[in-house]
Amino acid sequence: MQICKCPRDQLFAAVICAAAVLLSGCSTSEPPSGNQTVLAPAGKAAEEKAPAVQPVVKTAPSDAPNIILITIDALRADHLGCYGYSRNITPQIDALAAQGVLFEHVISTSSWTAPAMASLFTGRYPRTHTVRHGIYSPEDTVVVFQEKLPETLTTLPERLQRKGYTTIGISTNPHLIRDAGFARGFDIFHEDHALRDAVAAGVELTLDTLPELLADAQKTTQLALNSVAEADPERPFFLWVHYMDPHSPYFPREPWFQQFTSTEPAAMKQLYNKGFKELVELQTADASGQFLNDVMAAYDSEVAYADKALGDLLAGLPQNRERALFVLSDHGEQFYEHGYFYHGFTLFNEEIHVPLVIVLPGGRPPQRVSQTVSLLDVTRTVLDYAGIKSDKGQQGQSLLPLVTGEGQVPDQQIAVSEFERFKRYEVSVVRGTDKIIWKQETNSALYFDLKTDPAEHAGVPVRLSPAGLDLQKALGVWRDWTPFHEGVQMKVDMSEAGEGGGMEAAIMEEMMALGYAGG
């Protein structure tokens, strides 16, 4: 199968063929109107002036610890041993959790990569940072319709660069690229072009060649180590590494895959070109449960593969100074809990509950934090640790007092997630064990008691729950203090992409309406 040449009538099958499954969804929906009870304020979006360019002020002490930020794509929190998973597939992360601080209830700002990672880089919710759309075109091997990170917002690596850190970024996700603004502030930045280069060179993409073209965790680790070796050893560095594993397509990694199933790895290849609706049909037809077990075995083998690569990275990094380590995910993954596979479809916890482990120098006793926090809080925590004051308007709170044991942070804060895809706009609000999911389509919300209904299958209208009504009020307050901005899409030169010539907007819209999208 040659993705770059797939006919239009085969587009839907091709889009989730391994390369196409690679990522996320676009929405052509209008922002919520101010004429109904919605989250976007009425009237013209507020404007921000671009901040004045600040000179690099190399004030980071020469003996300051290195800061390492690891993001593992599509990693569910409940598939790690330190979060209670029964399969022993994350010994490296589990060991880190035993040394540092594990946050049990971390909620991402979205259920797919681009908006979640933009939140991590800017410390703002998607409705403010504007990166809410984007889809990977399998014919052209480029991302289209994605907003750029606004120049008005200073990114985390820019702040650290100005502090005097050597900044190194390793991106393996096609949404997190230079053209989208994710390279800003990095002295050294690498993004993966292997798939696009292969298509441009006329390489036939098959189910056998794809794994060699997609950036896997071991290649990512080696690239990160090589990049760090280029840095000045006399200066502390900030290293961000984004591992693509275990994002779909799930390649069955040995020896782990066959520890969990008797199915041959080669048999899993037939699933690489399945859209989520086809997977649902297979799941529905399989009364034995073997199909779901095989899919999860492949996913878990990818988790184990990424965990090992993380261990190799930490072992290979320079030991000439101490290091502060942050390990987390951008979003989770669904395995038919609510009728879908993959992610970027809903705001249920399997898609937005992410792991977070922080290990700081100093030999502090390990601990687990049970209060609900947001992915946004990681941004302020890194800045706080580096001695950098947060930007005006930056959202979230620093978790450093909890990590160091030197104080508390306000409890009972809400964690908000946003979803804008398939002509749908949804928002979830979590506080402790209470949760609501509000849908613009119906202008209504359901309340979930996560203590008695952790699987989120027994939602009730908010009007029937005092706790739900309280969260709905909190949602209104959040709307009032969270600015809404329209974004500017990054420009893509389709003439330099594959031979397909691009997907027309109408076809893309229809494709997404049918649910053919990864995340």
| CA nearest neighbour of 49 among 123, 150, 122, 152 | 152
**What is the DSSP secondary structure assignment for residue 432, as one 8-state letter?**
T
**Cα–Cα dist 81/372, whole Å:** 20
pLDDT band at 197 (very low <50, low <70, confident <90, very high): confident
Average pLDDT, stretch 215-236? 94
Check pLDDT > 70 for residue 278. Answer: yes
Query: Would you state the structure tokens that stand for residue 412, as one six-digit string?
Result: 């009972």
Give the C-alpha separation, 420 to 417, whole Å: 10
Please report the pLDDT score of residue 3 as a whole number. Answer: 31
Residues 6+ apart with CB under 8 A from 381: 326, 358, 398, 399, 400, 403
Torsion angle in degrees (nearest 10) through CA of 241, 246, 248, 253: 120
Distance CA 179, CA 163 (A): 24
pLDDT of residue 507: 39
Model pLDDT, residue 44: 31
Q: What is the pLDDT of residue 60?
A: 76
Its CATH architecture, for the domain 61-414, is 3-Layer(aba) Sandwich (3.40)
CA angle 115, 78, 339 (to 5 degrees): 70
* 12 has pLDDT over 50: no
Is the Cβ–Cβ distance between 171 and 191 less than 8 Å? yes
Q: Which residue has the tokens 């908010």?
A: 462
Instruction: Convert the pLDDT of each residue in 370-418 to its tens digit.
Output: 999 999 999 999 999 999 998 888 899 999 999 998 878 877 689 999 9
CB 316 within 8 A of CB 272: no
DSSP string, 276-288: HHHHHHHHHH-TT
251 pLDDT above the threshold of 70: yes
- The 10s digit of each residue's pLDDT in 507-519 is 344 444 333 344 5
Tell me the three state secondary structure of residue 344: coil
Provide the terminal-to-terminal Cα distance of the chain, rounded to the nearest Å: 22
Confidence of residue 141 (pLDDT cuts 50, 70, 90): low
- Tell me whether strands 341-342 and 334-335 are parallel, antiparallel or unpaired: antiparallel
H helical segments located in 74-230: 91-99, 113-122, 126-129, 156-163, 194-200, 210-213, 217-230
Any bridge partners for residue 79, and if so which?
none
Q: How far apart are CA 205 and CA 1, in angstroms?
A: 6
pLDDT of residue 58: 60
What pLDDT was estimated at residue 367? 94
> What is the Cα–Cα distance from 90 to 401, expressed in whole angstroms?
27
Mean pLDDT of 295-315: 96
pLDDT tens digits, 452-510:
999 999 999 999 999 999 999 999 999 998 988 887 776 554 444 333 334 434 434 44
Residue closest to 65 by CA, chosen among 225, 224, 237: 237
- Tokens found for residue 499: 């031979």
Residue 284, pLDDT > 50, answer yes
How many CA atoms, within 13 angstroms, populate the side-chain half-sphere of residue 335? 18
Distance CA 5, CA 182 (A): 30
Question: pTM for the full model?
Answer: 0.85
Residues 148-177, mean pLDDT to the nearest whole number: 93
Give backbone dihedrals phi and psi of 425, rounded to 5 degrees, phi first: -130, 120
Tell me the Ramachandran region of residue 476: left when phi exceeds 0, alpha when psi lies from -120 to 50, beta otherwise. alpha
Closest CA to 299 of 112, 78, 94, 102: 78
pLDDT value at residue 280: 77
Helical H runs in 154-209?
Answer: 156-163, 194-200
Domain boundaries, the chain: 61-414
Position 195 pLDDT exceeds 80: no
Residue 243 in tokens = 């591992």
Q: What is the pLDDT of residue 495?
A: 40
